[in-house]
Amino acid sequence: MLKEKIILSTILASSLLASDISLNLIDQNPARATPTNLSEIYSFNNSVKEAVKSVVNISTKQRVKQGVNPIEQMFSDPFFRQFFGPGFGGREQMPRERIQKSLGSGVILTGDGYIVTNAHVVENADEIVVSLGDNSKEYNAKLIGIDKDSDLAVIKVDEKNLPSIKVGSSKNLQIGDLVFAIGDPFGVGRTVTQGIVSALNKNKVGINKYENFIQTDASINPGNSGGALIDSRGALIGINSAIMTRSGGNNGVGFAIPVSMVKQIATKLVKDGKVTRGYLGVSIDDISKELHDVYKHKKGALILDISKDTPAYKYNLQRGDLVYKVNDKEIKDASEFSRVIGSFNPNEKITLYVERDKKDITVDIVLGSRDSLHAVSQNSPVMQGLYLSDITNELQQRFRIPQGTNGVLITDVKAASIAEKVGFQAGDIIIQIENIEIDSLNDVEKALNKYEDKPKRVYVNRYGRILVSVVE
């Protein structure tokens, strides 16, 4: 946990401790006041002007492969190759590359260059450039760490005495509090929009895995992602993340990640370069109204399933258990339970308060680590840069895969990755890794577990030809 230190707001935080970021903290429990002097114009310029200096523009470049055109694709079709041979149409067509650019915002956390932003702003970027609003100088930034589950990332520029933002608290926020969203929408320069806290603890929005958003009607437009949500004192209370819209414009429903989560995640990313969360191994859901008569407790997380060889399995949790408290934290629903479990570290001991058969029991559990689970999915690159998917009907048509083909499809290869250098291509189908035949993503996971940190022979089916490559 981040150690809370009250530091005078005039002091810039510029040092990184062994386990913490030294942040420019402000009073964490402020008083509130209502304007009474109607003969004056109330301006928040003094509140926002320092915070504005702490918000930066982030531009990224990513090398993106373009697919071959239909004629070129026809040359690689197995139907034509069986008549004309593998040389039909000339050389095997390789996807072209283009440079994709995007813009976002970030917030300077420390004077020595640590900047927090959204994960989706810098994810997969080959180049990250930071610029301060009133300063034409650009800085090449290094990616320190990224956590897609919370949609947060930390980057760093090699500079000293940067204007770090004052860091407030999201713990004592109230609906109706005045807030300002600061960012660089559309790349036109720093912009401040004003609104109120519309709602707190919003989840099930479908943006991140661990959701606990501050909802605001302050405009959060494209490019504002990663910028600051501040209170009327100019203190950071959240990181702008997304808007809910059907048209692409702002409809007054914006979401920001609370600064309490930002501090926790940023500290872990700076210290370790990643976020390691405690792992329990259960499938959960909210307790429905239909089940209210079955349970004494009306709030909590209902356990629906338990995976084998997990802490939940080891400590004898059961289907139908209702977890209503973790340590001293009341649990109101499944989202909060996931968030609370994810806030603990691997190997940390916790106590679950469980209702089982209308009896209250406690279960002491030592959490496992998610690092032991390989995230083999089409959303995460594995084996040094491969994006994989089970073969679906849609992918079968898009990649012109013959009926009855078995294996796991390579949907994309990360640019400039080891996998690309080895020679893998989108459209290749992995059929075997070492001596394990591959029919699904689960088979890939088994193979990666078995041959972890060892060179692996990977056999692929490329338009009917069987090729083998070695991946470290």
Characterize 127-147 residue by residue with b for buried, 16 or more Cβ atoms within 10 angstroms of its Cβ, and e for exposed: ebbbbbeeeeeebebeebbbb
Rg (CA), the chain: 25
Instruction: Please report where in the chains the tokens 């792992």 appear, as a residue.
Output: 279
Characterize 244-265 residue by residue with b for buried, 16 or more Cβ atoms within 10 angstroms of its Cβ, and e for exposed: beeeeebeebbbbbbbbbbbbb
- Which residues neighbour 244 within 8 Å (Cβ) at sequence distance 6 or greater? 205, 251, 253, 254, 255
- Could you give the CA distance from residue 104 to residue 74 in angstroms, rounded to a whole number? 39
Look at residue 35 in the predicted model and tell me its pLDDT.
61
- Could you give the CA distance from residue 140 to residue 157 in angstroms, rounded to a whole number? 6
Q: Is 225 a catalytic residue?
A: yes
Look at residue 351 in the predicted model and tell me its pLDDT.
94
Among positive and negative, which fits the CA dihedral 150, 184, 27, 158? Answer: positive
CB 173 within 8 A of CB 179: no
Q: Is 232 a catalytic residue?
A: no
State the catalytic residue, choosing from 225, 241, 260, 335.
Answer: 225
Among positive and negative, which fits the CA dihedral 355, 357, 362, 368? Answer: negative
- Could you give the CA distance from residue 279 to residue 337 in angstroms, rounded to a whole number? 12
In CATH, what number does 168-272 get?
Answer: 2.40.10.10
Q: Are strands 408-413 and 436-437 parallel, antiparallel or unpaired?
A: unpaired
The CATH homologous superfamily of the domain defined by 278-371: PDZ domain (2.30.42.10)
Q: CB atoms < 10 A from the CB of 423, how many? A: 12
CB 388 within 8 A of CB 448: no
Report CA-CA distances (Å) from 122 to 88, 102, 457: 41, 9, 32
Look at residue 18 in the predicted model and tell me its pLDDT.
41
Q: Is 292 a catalytic residue?
A: no
CB 415 within 8 A of CB 64: yes
State the catalytic residue, choosing from 22, 102, 120, 343.
Answer: 120
Look at residue 186 in the predicted model and tell me its pLDDT.
66
Tell the CATH topology of 55-156: Thrombin, subunit H (2.40.10)
Q: Is the pTM of this model over 0.75?
A: no
State the Cα torsion 360-365-371-373 to the nearest 10°.
Answer: -60
- Are the folds of 168-272 and 278-371 the same? no
Domain limits of the chain? 55-156, 168-272, 278-371, 374-471
Mean pLDDT by groups of 10 residues along the chain of 472 residues:
37 42 77 66 83 89 60 51 50 55 85 91 85 78 88 91 89 89 77 89 66 83 84 91 60 82 91 85 84 87 83 90 92 87 88 92 87 53 82 78 87 84 91 90 82 86 89 81
State the catalytic residue, choosing from 54, 76, 150, 151.
Answer: 151
CB 58 within 8 A of CB 267: no
The CATH architecture that domain 374-471 belongs to is: Roll (2.30)
